[in-house]
């Protein structure tokens, strides 16, 4: 691979380098929490100052645990719905499709045009993994999603929605519920206190990105529209990974244990989805 200069300085897009580097470092552990052999190949093709990612071993482990849990939620969905459609919102340079592919899922990786440009150079599209070069808040991209009649859709948004304003996130979730009734959404959330701490951390590692959307309780999304229902959550403190460096007693402090989590939501009635014919389009999507 030839070296590539990334993303024209866009601060949100640049945050994708952090989880990629965490997955690369993880492959050198004696017992990796997540297997991702493709990650090291991607780093070889990127011209970036990796030394700027000044994260501790514990910080890197936490990022990997987060990715592992998103993988688990996605695999669970594909076990229940083998012939399904998954839209990975803010995919960056993640290799989730390669990690969880069940051989029949129809997958869409969505990110900003500059990110998708770089992604296409490093990870070519396949017959079931299609790229959408757009903002998730653009109202046109759902027209490019092809869904088998009677099958369901999952939207996966890892470490992305928190960087936007509440009104933007609320409008997006409502539109997904209206357009894809019975779909599922997996997203992480932070409390306002956690947002302040995360933004301090971003400043310390010299990242220009800042988080904006937070909730005090993940069930707040249920008030956004009829049919939105919280289903389950994962907390980093449910079963603390030792390499994250958290002492056992910290799990007894609600302010910390409830500060961030990964949540699965149902967006409407699944039967409504099965009875709803979503317009399909050819599996050819415009390049950015």
Name which of 197, 258, 187 is nearest 224 in CA terms: 187
CATH class (in words) of the domain with range 7-275: alpha beta
Q: What pLDDT band is residue 209 in, cutting at 50, 70 and 90?
A: confident
pLDDT for the residue 279: 39
Separation between Cα atoms, residue 268 and residue 185, nearest integer Å: 11
pLDDT for the residue 188: 98
Separation between Cα atoms, residue 32 and residue 276, nearest integer Å: 42
pLDDT for the residue 50: 79
| 234 vs 48, higher pLDDT | 234
The pLDDT of residue 77 is above 60: yes
The secondary structure element, H or E, covering residue 65 is: helix 57-80
Summarised one tens digit per residue, pLDDT across range 111-152 is 999 899 989 999 999 999 999 999 999 999 999 999 988 899
287 secondary structure, DSSP code: -
């Amino acid at each position: 691979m030839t070296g590539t200069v990334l993303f024209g300085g866009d601060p949100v897009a640049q945050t994708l380098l952090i989880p990629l580097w965490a997955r690369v470092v993880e492959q050198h552990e004696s017992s990796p929490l997540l297997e991702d052999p493709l990650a090291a190949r991607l780093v070889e093709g990127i011209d970036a100052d990796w030394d700027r990612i000044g994260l501790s071993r514990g910080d890197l482990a936490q990022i990997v645990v987060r990715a592992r849990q998103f993988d688990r939620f996605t695999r669970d969905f594909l076990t229940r719905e083998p012939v399904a459609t998954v839209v990975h919102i803010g995919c960056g340079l993640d290799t989730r499709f390669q990690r969880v592919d069940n051989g029949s899922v129809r997958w869409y990786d969505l990110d900003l045009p500059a990110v998708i440009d770089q992604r296409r150079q490093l990870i070519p599209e396949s017959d079931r993994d299609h790229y959408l070069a757009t903002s998730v808040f653009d109202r046109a991209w759902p027209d490019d999603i092809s869904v088998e009649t009677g099958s369901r859709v999952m939207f996966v948004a890892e470490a992305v929605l928190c960087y936007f304003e509440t009104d933007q996130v609320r409008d997006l979730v409502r539109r997904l519920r209206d357009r894809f009734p019975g779909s599922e959404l997996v997203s992480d959330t932070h409390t306002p206190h956690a947002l302040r701490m995360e933004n301090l951390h971003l400043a310390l590692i010299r990242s220009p990105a800042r988080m904006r959307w937070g909730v005090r309780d993940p069930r707040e999304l249920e008030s956004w529209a009829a049919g939105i229902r919280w289903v389950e959550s994962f907390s980093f403190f449910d079963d603390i990974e030792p390499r994250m460096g958290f002492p056992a007693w910290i799990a007894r402090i609600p302010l910390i244990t409830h500060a961030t989590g990964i949540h699965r939501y149902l967006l409407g009635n699944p039967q409504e989805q099965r009875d709803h014919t979503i317009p399909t389009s050819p599996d050819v999507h415009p390049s950015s």
